[in-house]
Amino acid sequence: MIKNYLKIAWRSLARNKMYSLINITGLTVGIACCILIILYVKDELSYDRYNQHYNETYRVVQAFRSAKNVKDLPPPAPEEYQVWGCAPLAPALKADFPEVDKIAQFTSPNTFLLQYRDKHFQENGIVFADSSMFDIFSWKMIYGDKTTALKGVNSIVLTKSVAEKYFGKSNPVGQMIKVDDGNSLMVTGEMEDIPSNSHFTFNGMISMSTFRQMRSEIFNWWGYVDFYTYFTVSAHTDINAMQAKTAAFVQRHNPAGADHSYAIAFEPLKNAYLHSTAKRQPGVTGSLSNVYIFSLVAIFILFIACINFINLSTARSMERAKEIGVRKAVGAHQEGLMFQYLTESVLIAFLATLLGVALAICLLPVVREMAGKPLPLTALLSWKMLLAFLLAPVLVGIPAGIYPAWVLARFKPALVLKGKFHSSGKGIQLRQGLVVFQFSLSIALIACTAIVFSQLNHLRSHDLGFRQDQMLVIDYGGDGNINKNIEAVKAILARNPAVTSITASRAVPGDFLPDATTVIEAPNGDKSSFDPGIYEIDADFLPAYEVKMAAGRAYSKSFSTDSEQAIIINEAAAKMYGYANPADVIGKSFDQWGRKGTVIGVTKDFNYQSLHNKVEPLTIRMAQFYSFNKLSLRVRSEHLSGTIAELQDTWATIAPNRPFLYSFMDKSFNEQYQKDVRFGQIFMTFGFLTIFIACLGLFGLATYSTEKRLKEIGVRKILGASVTNIVTLLSGDFVKLVLIAIIIATPLAWWGMNKWLNDFAYRIAIQWWIFGVAGLMAVAIALLTVGVLALKAATGNPVKSLRAE
């Protein structure tokens, strides 16, 4: 019987080519989209799972707050914690918590010029790290012994991609590599590159003992933060019980003093990428809401494709009514008939699955580019995915076909064979309801896509409070030789007529900034201590970036005391220290990092960080020459490529061993929103694919509806109906359904996008016209889809449709 069912199913598909094509195409696109979204979501959920001790690994997050009476402070909120911490924390935890098995620390990334023979490159992402890093994280060593590689002073482990730039495919262990034209490090290991699904990455690790030799004093400072602390616990450890002992731990070590509140918490490694709200992350973080959104989109796409199948199958049930009547008359049972038509449904789903997998493979490179993820093809070959492919025809075919099969199997043979069987009103209402559901989703996706891109445009066009256009930034990694002659270097570069201004600084907007414990005299005369961010700049920085002053003055070379006895803060910092009027803080005393003096100016708040965050308190001070890392040159827009070439030639004479690495501020600053841009691109792509599938179903349903009304159209034309009257008649029913869909989709899209926009400190207000435009687009799409068929029917010869009457 199964063989017979398959044969009949195949004949039915071949006989109704257009409807079969619509069903298979819709399911194919739906399944392909599902596969691609599953790969994306699977990658997002896979972060750090490559680690053998994934479930037993935690990291320390710390909250550091100021108050006159720390007992009056409530417990820190999750967003008040930061992952960045201090060096003495690790040995103290190891000593005080027997539950801690292995513990390791690494610093924030550094930039070094590495040189081996005639090869030299400026390498970013070099960290100082404990040798126990290999005990916590499951990284594969290609060459060298991971148990000893980071124990010795002046030793370095390179990742494969970096090592091959200097040593090719050969074993680099034992080779000496020069650092910043000074000390040499011995390569003690080459490891595989950090997996892309890791919440932090680096290009090399220098032994922590090297850092300890360079700056031994900071390893006893509880107030110096530049370390990330990770540890593993023994099996069956109660982490909550450990957490309960942290208050006593902090009090015992008393790192901050009586006027500070210091708290630590333990965050599971599994929360680091998608669930952490802590600041100062060591790498990128993901968005759990995006995972949910794309998962829902995958479900909706497949659901819409199944709706097409249900709609077309139930609509065409009248054509198969006589077949059912004959089968029942000769003894077929309802269960057997249902099984027969479910077999047909599963066959369609099987063909769609094969084509869907092939389409997904073809589109995978495009999705990789949009998502910025490797998404390996081998992920499709895992046993879970292969099992899903095998089960997909059943899991998709049976739910999609169960209702049409049930409808067909319940036909009364006597009525059918006498020609008295007609479509039920309930069936028509169901099809209309499903069309409304389809277009509700489609309209919501159109509106959401418009809101996403409006927000991205807002991020790009928002007034940041500083001028970023035509600003060329040279990253020279804090080269000591350049810093010793920084004013001469600036003067040489400024000779280029295309350079209109030039400044040196430790960081530029968009960069990672340190915090600095800063004491400023409060309005009542007390000393207030907080930890705002810190910019270290030269006297030309604020004018070059056109940062405006709210009160006081900017730095000036005319005041010799500015370099040691002055500080500038932003408006947010002034408010934090209790000054609603920025002018009132001018002249107040400060104490920061061994420097004392007075506040000479307050800048207007400028967005030195991503617009995901509000402008945070910031201090700006004159840097010592050894603190500079970057040069910022404002250049004329004319002949830009020629200007860059000239600057590169000049740089080769200034620093022949230092590569000319440059970027433009506007481009590099906007890279902070790359994740949002990718989200928008992916969302738009799958949104329009959803609309495409919905239109396929609408086209099929409209085609069938038009065919059933050909005789009615013929009569109307003979009685004088115009083409416009007939097109309006045939299109009107579907347009009404789309209008209902607009009413349903609008509040849903508004609610969802309002939630998404809450992740931005600077967000657009959702405008009503976005939903109006989305609705008009949906109506236009529906009219185009249905109108073509209606126009064809309206302009046809009525004699042909009435010939049988």
Q: Write out pLDDT tens, residues 211-225.
A: 999 999 999 888 788
Which DSSP state fits 82? B
Q: So what's the pLDDT on residue 607?
A: 94
Q: What value does the CA radius of gyration of the chain take, rounded to a whole number of Å? A: 34
Q: So what's the pLDDT on residue 320?
A: 59
Question: Token pair for residue 310?
Answer: 């249900």
pLDDT tens per residue, range 665-685: 988 888 888 888 888 888 888
Q: So what's the pLDDT on residue 266?
A: 96
* Domain spans, the chain: 1-47+288-423, 54-271, 446-462+670-805, 471-669
Give the integer Cα–Cα distance in Å for 776 and 792. 23
Question: Token pair for residue 326?
Answer: 């004959």
Count of C-beta atoms within a 10 Å radius of residue 3: 7
Q: So what's the pLDDT on residue 2?
A: 63
Residue 96 pLDDT class (50, 70, 90 cuts): very high
Q: What is the mean pLDDT of residues 531-560?
A: 95
| Range in 120-124, 307-311, 505-509, 648-652 with the lowest mean pLDDT | 307-311
Q: So what's the pLDDT on residue 377?
A: 81
Q: So what's the pLDDT on residue 133?
A: 96
Give the integer Cα–Cα distance in Å for 455 and 458. 5
**Pairing of the two strands 527-530 and 499-505:** unpaired
**Pairing of the two strands 57-66 and 225-233:** antiparallel
For the CA atoms of 159, 164, 167, 170, what is the dihedral angle to 10 degrees? 90
Question: Residue 378 above 90 pLDDT?
Answer: no
Q: So what's the pLDDT on residue 561?
A: 94
pLDDT tens per residue, range 400-419: 777 666 766 665 665 555 55
Residue 172 pLDDT class (50, 70, 90 cuts): very high
Residue 274 pLDDT class (50, 70, 90 cuts): very high
| Phi–psi pair at 349, nearest 5 degrees | -65, -35
The answer to whether the pTM exceeds 0.85 is no
> Which residue from 176, 177, 91 is spatially nearest to 130, judged by alpha carbons?
91
> Which residue from 240, 236, 261, 242 is spatially nearest to 250, judged by alpha carbons?
261
For residues 506 and 537, the answer to whether their CB atoms sit within 8 Å is: yes
Q: Please classify residue 505 by burial: count the beta carbons closer than 10 Å to its beta carbon, then call 0-12 exposed, 13-18 middle and 19+ buried.
A: buried
| Range in 60-64, 209-213, 233-237, 325-329 with the lowest mean pLDDT | 325-329
